[in-house]
């Protein structure tokens, strides 16, 4: 199976394009677990399949490293856009990509060699609260508290296609992200599990961000998480409409348009290509 390894701010996936190679007969959840394994596989946060779409210019599906399928992936969308443009799957710089969560618009930014170092994705609008994010706890509304060893941890429920719990903290702390994030990810109040974000507001234009991702654990970056966090903080009046998000793997620029659409701009990088022996 031909593959391309790509990353965006260190959030790395194995990309397989059905235009280039046949998918192996194993189920794709199992393939995701195998290729993600850093010792016995290639090593990644998951698997992304690039495929034709009936409703958009390109289609994508994403599996986390534990084999669970997600609805969307912000960093993955930017890499899919770069791949699609550079491999001639599309012939314009603005095109649509179908995910399980719907269709988004990608705009590639080219350098003078016709390569794509940077991509903007229009992620659509965020929606908030326990009516849009799978949640079976007792609180209702946008903000809910989950019980971690008798201590309530408050966060905002946000959907940008996939589910997010955005917790506002004074300062991001990597040990706490691992300790509390892992508990939130698999908390019984979240029947479909959860992406847990921890965000600290530095100013109306800058936030610090860490994530414990559903199905992948701590990653260097989460594009959908960054969009969800800025949308949640803006709703509380804590940030403005243009925010630089400082993630473990680098910075993302998020813009909230007047119509509520979230524009995410950041890098997309090809690491290597090769053959994976199934
Ligand atoms: N890293 C991604 C999100 C990947 C999916 C997520 N773990 C989920 O299960 O919803 C991003 O950049 O958005």
Q: What CATH number corresponds to the domain at position 19? A: 3.10.310.10
pLDDT digits (tens, 9 = 90+) for 4-49: 999 999 999 999 999 999 998 889 999 999 999 999 999 999 999 9
Burial class (CB in 10 A: 0-12, 13-18, 19+), 227: buried
Q: Which residues are annotated as a binding site for substrate?
A: 11, 64, 74-75, 162, 195, 213-214, 223-224
Q: Are 102 and 165 contained in the same domain?
A: no
Mean pLDDT of the chain: 97
Q: Are 200 and 105 contained in the same domain?
A: no
What pLDDT, on the 0 to 100 scale, is given for residue 151?
96
Question: What confidence tier does 140 reach under pLDDT thresholds 50, 70, 90?
Answer: confident
Helix axes 223-235, 74-86, angle to 10 degrees: 130
| Separation of CA 112 and ligand 1 centre (Å) | 31
Q: List Cβ neighbours of 22 (8 Å cut-off, separation of 6 or more).
A: 1
Q: Is 272 a catalytic residue?
A: no
Q: Work out the average pLDDT over 202-224.
A: 98
Asked whether residue 110 is domain-assigned, the answer is yes
Q: Are 114 and 137 contained in the same domain?
A: no
Share of the chain above pLDDT 70, in %: 100
Asked whether residue 204 is domain-assigned, the answer is yes
What pLDDT, on the 0 to 100 scale, is given for residue 120?
98
Number of domains in the chain: 2
Query: H-type helices in 149-244, by residue range?
Result: 174-185, 223-235
What pLDDT, on the 0 to 100 scale, is given for residue 139?
86
Q: Are 271 and 249 contained in the same domain?
A: no
pLDDT digits (tens, 9 = 90+) for 142-171: 999 999 999 999 999 999 999 999 999 999
**Alpha-carbon distances of 139 from 90, 154, 231, rounded to whole Å:** 46, 10, 21
Q: Are 16 and 80 contained in the same domain?
A: yes
pLDDT digits (tens, 9 = 90+) for 39-64: 999 999 999 999 999 999 999 999 99
Asked whether residue 244 is domain-assigned, the answer is yes
What pLDDT, on the 0 to 100 scale, is given for residue 238?
98
Q: Which of 63, 185, 222, 267 to mutate to test the pocket of ligand 1 (most atoms within 8 A of CB)?
A: 222
What pLDDT, on the 0 to 100 scale, is given for residue 26?
86
pLDDT digits (tens, 9 = 90+) for 94-124: 999 999 999 999 999 999 999 999 999 999 9
**Alpha-carbon distances of 102 from 124, 157, 179, 210, 251, rounded to whole Å:** 9, 19, 33, 26, 25
Q: Is 79 a catalytic residue?
A: no
The range of the structural domain enclosing residue 42 comes to 2-124+266-275
Q: Are 136 and 120 contained in the same domain?
A: no
Euclidean distance between CA atoms 246 and 200, whole angstroms: 10
| Separation of CA 216 and ligand 1 centre (Å) | 8
Q: Work out the average pLDDT over 85-91.
A: 98
What pLDDT, on the 0 to 100 scale, is given for residue 220?
98
Asked whether residue 183 is domain-assigned, the answer is yes
Phi, psi of 146 (to 5 degrees): -105, 145
Let me know the angle formed at the C-alpha of 162 by 104 and 245, rounded to the nearest 5 degrees.
80
Neighbours of 126 (CB within 10 A): 25
Q: Are 120 and 137 contained in the same domain?
A: no
Query: H-type helices in the chain, by residue range?
Result: 28-36, 74-86, 174-185, 223-235
- Which tokens belong to 93? 């710089």
Q: Whose CA is nearest to atom 4 of ligand 1?
A: 73
Q: Are 102 and 194 contained in the same domain?
A: no
Give the pocket of ligand 1 (CB within 6 Å): 11, 62, 64, 70, 73-76, 162, 195, 213-216, 219, 222-225
Q: List Cβ neighbours of 66 (8 Å cut-off, separation of 6 or more).
A: 32, 33, 215, 216
Q: Are 217 and 157 contained in the same domain?
A: yes
Question: What confidence tier does 275 reach under pLDDT thresholds 50, 70, 90?
Answer: very high
Asked whether residue 261 is domain-assigned, the answer is no
Q: Work out the average pLDDT over 235-251.
A: 98
* Nearest atom of ligand 1 to the alpha carbon of 64: 7
């Amino acid at each position: 199976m031909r593959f391309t390894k790509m990353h965006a701010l260190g959030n790395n996936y194995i990309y397989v394009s059905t235009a280039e190679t046949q998918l192996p007969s194993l189920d794709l959840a199992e393939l995701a677990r195998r290729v993600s394994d850093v010792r016995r596989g290639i090593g990644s946060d998951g698997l992304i399949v690039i495929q034709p779409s009936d409703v958009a210019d390109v289609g994508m599906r994403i599996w986390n490293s534990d084999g669970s399928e997600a609805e969307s992936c912000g960093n993955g969308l930017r890499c899919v856009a770069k791949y699609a443009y550079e491999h001639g799957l599309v012939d314009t710089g603005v095109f649509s990509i179908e995910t399980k969560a719907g269709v988004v618009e990608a705009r590639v930014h080219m350098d003078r060699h016709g390569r794509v170092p940077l991509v903007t994705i229009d992620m659509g609008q965020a929606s908030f609260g326990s009516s849009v994010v799978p949640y079976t706890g007792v609180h209702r509304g946008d903000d809910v508290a989950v019980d971690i060893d008798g201590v309530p941890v408050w966060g905002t429920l946000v959907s940008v296609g996939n589910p997010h719990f955005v917790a506002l903290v004074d300062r991001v702390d990597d040990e706490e992200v691992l300790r509390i994030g892992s508990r939130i990810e698999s908390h019984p109040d979240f029947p479909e599990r959860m992406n847990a974000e921890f965000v600290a507001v530095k100013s109306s234009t800058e936030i610090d961000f860490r994530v414990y991702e559903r199905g992948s654990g701590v990653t260097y970056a989460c594009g959908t998480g960054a969009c969800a966090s800025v949308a949640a903080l803006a709703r509380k009046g804590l940030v403005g409409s243009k925010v630089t998000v400082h993630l473990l793997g680098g910075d993302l620029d998020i813009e909230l348009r007047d119509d509520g659409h979230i524009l995410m701009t950041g890098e997309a990088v090809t690491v290597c290509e090769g053959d994976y022996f199934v």
